[in-house]
Amino acid sequence: MSTPLPALAQAARYRHPVAGWPGRALQRLLACTALTAARRGLTGVVPVPPLVSDVREVVYLSWWVEARHAPPPPPGHRLFVHDGRTPYTILTYRHGHLGPALAGPLRRLFPSPLQSNWRWYVLPDAADARSDEPRVLFDRNVIDSVVHAVGARLWSDAMQPHLAARFEHAVDAHGGHTLIEPGQGSAPMLRARVRPADALPAAWAAAAFGDAARAMAFLACQDAAFAVAPDGRLALTRIDLPIALAAVQPLQLDGPVSCPHLAAMGVALDDAFCFRVPQVPFRVVSERLL
């Protein structure tokens, strides 16, 4: 099924962060329609195997954005909106041996790349029995490994990551920083520092969610994610992310944030809702084209 989300399809197209013929060759490979069609034919018969990762140092940075800047929601869904604004989250973390579940203990041999997911929040239409359960619509995805970027794009419609020229994410109980630089590539840019806070900011959440705890649950707990492939096809991924909300650490920004993508939408970058999840098991259950 096609989808009226051309802006996200355009944003999903890959551009290598370093100039030169290797990057141009890689771009042509990843844009090959025949290869995409062949892979879709294969995965239509042999599903993408479940992936697992023991992710750690998960940091959520969320802002309110004027809803007019958001893309249209997937069919059968509506954007979560309060008072003309909608939440937008940049979620950054380090994987823990990302690999297929069937690898078992051998998964310890798999690498642990950095990843950042930039997403909007949508709800199923009211006719859906689970209409209060948020789902995310990916806006951007970034990774620091060329092998994972290429592998994900060749094998998946739901995960189309961009390769960062430079990607740092070092956060612990004492705070830390995240840095994403695109170089000449298609990854978005982000520079942010965080430090511990005494509590989550109730004022950020009060009007839309009632209190900070409900806001945190809404922003962190989903079971599905939508993504738009470069050719405009819509994909749905089912995920399992059992976050223990009691273990969440409140954070606050430690200095100004630099993010041209959000600044272009008029976002008040100094007004963020931030928290850290030290670790959580992550599982990609299934993926399908809609």
Question: In residues, how long is the chain?
Answer: 290
- For the segment 66-110, what is each residue's pLDDT rounded down to a tens digit? 999 999 999 889 999 999 999 999 999 999 998 888 888 888 889
Helix extents (H) in the chain? 6-12, 21-30, 33-45, 146-155, 202-209, 212-220, 260-263
Q: Which tokens go with 227?
A: 């993504």
Ramachandran region, residue 76 (left: φ > 0; alpha: ψ -120 to 50; beta: rest)? left
Per residue in 119-143, pLDDT tens? 999 998 865 555 567 789 999 999 9
Highest mean pLDDT among 4-18, 33-47, 246-260: 246-260
* Pairing outcome for strands 224-228 and 135-143: parallel
Q: State residue 2's pLDDT score.
A: 43
Compute the C-alpha angle 108/109/110, nearest 5°.
Answer: 90
The whole-angstrom separation of Cα 183 and Cα 162 is 11
Residue-range domains of the chain with CATH:
6-289 (2.40.400.10)
* pLDDT: which is higher, 128 or 158: 158
